[in-house]
Amino acid sequence: MRWSTNLAYAVGLITTDGCLSIDGRHIDLTSKDKDQIKTFAKLLNLKNKIGLKYSGSQKEKIYCRIQFGNVKFYRFLIKIGLSPHKSKTLGILLIPNKFFRDFLRGHLDGDGCIISYEDRYNTPINPKYVYQRLMTYFMSASKPHMEWLQMRIKNSLDIQGALLKRKPNEERYATTWTLKFSKKESIILLNWLYYSPSVPYLKRKYRKAKPYLASTTSGT
């Protein structure tokens, strides 16, 4: 396999929302965003049908899913560090420096989030106390993987973020790890990730990032 912007982004999606079958051939990607599945299929030239997957005892959650078989691609994913049941074993991945930000953008679109809002908490004290908050998160059940991600981002951008442990609760059945970036670091990070309007991305997350992007990257 030859690395490219599209391949690196697709690998980022597989790392977060994907699954490798134990049969050594099949790869699965599941997402609540059908657009994301369509983009993934286009990037990898897949013609497979997009199906539906239900979650919960009452099937209240509906996800889109695509599954395909490709032994060569499967072996490539194993070689760079992915594996079946990867949520328990995920660690360092062999991603070339040149394409790391494309991989990371896929990682963000899979299991990350961008939060932006107006903070008016202190306006009763002074109406001028209105602040625009911005935070970027990456999440995983694997601490070694998140430590590796933090290290690669720091080496690329000299920003650290904060690695936080989230204990199980009613929504999470296992401990998860969150790499959180504040507003100042998020602006640096998002401009690096969305370096061109032509790169693949999930539209709803790009819309949140766009107000903070330089005009050369936002296409405005």
Residue numbers of the domain that contains 9: 5-212
pLDDT beyond 60 at 44: yes
Which residue has better confidence, 177 or 118?
A: 177
pLDDT beyond 70 at 170: no
Alpha carbon distance 103, 145 (integer Å): 14
Alpha carbon distance 196, 211 (integer Å): 14
- The answer as to whether 218 is a domain residue is no
Answer for the pair 32, 64: CB distance below 8 angstroms, yes or no.
yes
pLDDT beyond 60 at 172: no
**Strand pairing category for 131-140 and 61-69:** unpaired
Mean of all residue pLDDT scores within the chain: 89
Mean pLDDT of 67-85: 95
pLDDT at 192: 98
- The answer as to whether 79 is a domain residue is yes
Structural domain count of the chain: 1
- The answer as to whether 201 is a domain residue is yes
For residue 48, give the CATH number of its domain.
3.10.28.10
Task: Give the pLDDT band (50/70/90) at residue 87.
Answer: confident
- The answer as to whether 111 is a domain residue is yes
pLDDT at 57: 47
pLDDT at 166: 86
- The answer as to whether 217 is a domain residue is no
- The answer as to whether 220 is a domain residue is no
- pTM comes to 0.89
Residue type, 137: Y
- The answer as to whether 160 is a domain residue is yes
Radius of gyration of the chain measured on its C-alpha atoms = 18
Q: Which two tokens stand for residue 197?
A: 């309007």
Mean pLDDT of 46-70: 81
